[in-house]
């Protein structure tokens, strides 16, 4: 492992400037995401539709990611305070610089950052599950409401992989917390203990590598998610109403993969023997990709979730049923009205005895997003005799009397 060049370590003022940027990047998205989450809880409803299982996963992502942003903002704010107030001669330049308050603040900042990282991993895991569940929903719609063969296999494989990554993420948090406990206990005593310092170096290296392993696994999982979303887009190319939601899914999945690739490149340096990463990378590039890309992903998924008639539905709810539309038979004018009345752009006409009008009830869409083939053609229902116009009844009675007189 290479040693750190003291000339490469910036002073506290440089760290303070980059920390301000990280606070702004993380903090600016908290309120908008909280608003979107509240709206999604009220509007983006599943309504028992099996094709909308992914919608429930979308709403589960928001609280974990919001907590991640809040904890990161608190952590960097505390760290900024220590840079600007406590350390005038350099970062952790000597143990005499640490007072009881400054130790508590520095320790709280580090622990908040570790917990925020865990929530980051949880939100990303849930986001990847969301991508696959939404893909399953599209497949369910395209298969006519019958779950396709690989439907459950995909779900179980994704959940199993998510459990493995979650275990590594929890281990990362546990080793990180153990490191900070040992580190701050060591700062509270006088003297130098080489055994404790070796233990600290080993725990720090293990924690960093565990975090890098989680980032790499998450990026690897994003690749089949892109492939699955691409397959969905390909299958929906002949269904215009499902096409746009599928493109939203593919765009969100691609952004997630790009974000995870950036984070993987940063943290993978720990496997290459790097022990120091410049602050502009850890405090600017990383937070920028992490926050901005995730915000765009969640907005795109929110747009997909709140769509109604053009959304992801295997069977549209009955309250969206179309009203009956009057459908005249061939060569028959509209129902009788006032003489000279213009109806639906038709020229005025005098009342004449009319045959029975027909009413057309548009068939409901069985699949979310595109109409299904009808059985038996157009469903038309004759109006009962009691609902016909009085003039029509009179004309029909006159015809009956004329036939009776002829016989």
User: DSSP states of 173-235 as a string?
Assistant: HHHHHHHHHHHHHHHTS-S--HHHHHHHHHHHHHHHHHHHHHHHHHHHHHHHHHHHHHHHHHH
Domain end marker among 258, 277, 306: 306
Same domain, 256 and 331: no
Query: 73 and 193 in one domain?
Result: yes
Q: Is the pLDDT of residue 237 over 90?
A: no
For residue 314, count CB atoms less than 10 angstroms from its CB and return exposed for 0-12, middle for 13-18, buried for 19 or more: buried
- Residue 375 and residue 351 in one domain: yes
Residue for token pair 């548009």:
362
pLDDT band per the 50, 70, 90 thresholds, residue 259: very high
283 assigned to some structural domain? yes
Residue 224 CA to residue 236 CA, distance in Å, equals 18
In a domain, 59, yes or no: yes
Each residue's pLDDT tens digit, 281-330: 778 888 888 999 999 999 999 888 876 655 565 555 544 444 444 444 44
List the structure tokens of 254. Answer: 């691609």
Residue 91 CB coordination number (10 Å): 14
Percent of the chain with pLDDT over 90: 32
User: C-alpha angle with apex 166: 226 to 66, nearest 5 degrees?
Assistant: 75
**Residue 234, pLDDT above cutoff 80:** yes
Instruction: Express as a percent the part of the chain with pLDDT over 70.
Output: 62
228 and 352 part of one domain: no
Lowest mean pLDDT among 122-131, 196-205, 271-280, 380-389: 380-389
Distances (CA, A) of 12 to 76, 83, 85, 281, 286: 13, 6, 10, 16, 20
Q: Tell me, yes or no, whether 332 and 300 share the same domain.
A: no
Residue 40 counted as domain residue: yes
- Choose the final residue of a domain: 306, 335, 356: 306
**Residue 313 falls inside a structural domain:** no
Both 196 and 47 in one domain: the answer is yes
- Three-state DSSP at 346 gives strand
Question: Considering 278, 306, 334, which residue would you say is the last residue of a domain?
Answer: 306
Average pLDDT, the chain: 74
In a shared domain, residues 179 and 270: yes
How many domains does the chain divide into? Answer: 2
| Residue 376 falls in which region: left (phi positive, over 0), alpha (psi -120 to 50) or beta | left
* First-residue to last-residue Cα distance in the chain: 115
- Looking at residue 322, its pLDDT comes to 44
Residue 1 lies in a domain: no
pLDDT of residue 40: 86
Give the mean pLDDT of 90-117: 74
Same-domain status, 97 and 200: yes
Q: Is 359 helix (H, G, I), strand (E, B) or coil?
A: strand
CATH number at residue 289: 1.20.1070
For residues 287 and 388, state if they share a domain. Answer: no
Residues 53 and 123 in one domain: yes
Is residue 372 included in any domain, yes or no? Answer: yes
Q: Which domain covers residue 34, as residue numbers?
A: 6-306
Give yes or no: residues 258 and 367 share one domain.
no
Q: pTM for this one?
A: 0.72
| Of the candidate ranges 66-80, 140-154, 172-186, 380-394, the one whose mean pLDDT is the lowest | 380-394
Residue 376 lies in a domain: yes
Q: Cβ(277)–Cβ(107) under 8 Å?
A: no
296: burial class by Cβ within 10 Å (0-12, 13-18, 19+)?
middle
Task: Specify if 225 maps to a domain.
Answer: yes
Residues 295 and 329 in one domain: no
pLDDT tens, residue by residue, 101-112: 778 888 899 999
pLDDT bracket for residue 388 (50, 70, 90): very low
399 Cβ contact partners less than 8 Å away, ≥ 6 residues apart = none
């Amino acid at each position: 492992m290479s040693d750190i060049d003291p000339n490469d370590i910036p002073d506290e003022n440089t760290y303070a400037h980059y920390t301000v940027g990280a606070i702004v990047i993380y903090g600016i998205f908290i309120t908008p995401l909280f608003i979107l989450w509240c709206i999604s809880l009220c509007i983006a409803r599943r309504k028992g539709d099996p094709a909308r299982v992914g919608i429930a996963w979308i709403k589960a992502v928001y609280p974990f990611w919001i907590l991640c942003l809040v904890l990161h903002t608190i952590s960097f704010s505390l760290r900024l305070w220590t840079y600007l107030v406590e350390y005038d001669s350099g970062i952790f330049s000597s143990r005499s610089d640490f007072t009881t308050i400054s130790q508590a603040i520095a320790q709280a900042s580090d622990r908040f950052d570790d917990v925020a990282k865990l929530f980051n991993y949880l939100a990303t895991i849930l986001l990847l599950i969301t991508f696959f569940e939404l893909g399953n929903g599209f497949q369910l719609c395209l298969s006519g409401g019958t779950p396709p063969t690989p439907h459950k296999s995909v779900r179980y494989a994704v959940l199993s992989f998510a459990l493995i990554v979650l275990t590594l993420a929890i281990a990362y948090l546990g080793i990180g917390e153990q490191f900070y406990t040992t580190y701050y206990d060591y700062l509270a005593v006088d003297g130098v203990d080489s055994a404790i310092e070796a233990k600290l170096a080993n725990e720090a290296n293990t924690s960093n590598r565990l975090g890098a392993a989680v980032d790499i696994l998450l990026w690897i999982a994003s690749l089949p998610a892109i492939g699955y979303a691409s397959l969905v887009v390909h299958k929906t190319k002949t269904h215009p109403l499902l096409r746009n939601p599928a493109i939203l899914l593919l765009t969100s999945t691609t952004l997630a993969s790009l974000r995870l690739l950036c984070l993987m490149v940063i943290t993978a340096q720990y496997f290459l023997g790097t022990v120091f990463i410049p602050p502009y990378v850890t405090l600017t590039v990383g937070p920028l990709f992490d926050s901005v890309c995730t915000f765009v992903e969640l907005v795109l998924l929110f747009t997909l979730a709140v769509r109604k008639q053009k959304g992801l539905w295997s069977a549209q709810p009955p309250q969206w049923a179309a009203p009956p539309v009057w459908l005249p038979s061939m060569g028959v004018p509209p129902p009788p009205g006032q003489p000279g009345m213009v109806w639906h752009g038709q020229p005025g006409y005098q009342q004449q005895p009319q045959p029975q009008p027909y009413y057309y009830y548009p068939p409901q869409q069985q699949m979310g997003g595109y109409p299904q083939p009808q059985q038996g053609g157009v469903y038309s229902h004759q109006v009962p005799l009691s609902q016909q116009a009085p003039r029509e009844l009179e004309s029909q009675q006159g015809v009956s009397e004329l036939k009776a007189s002829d016989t």
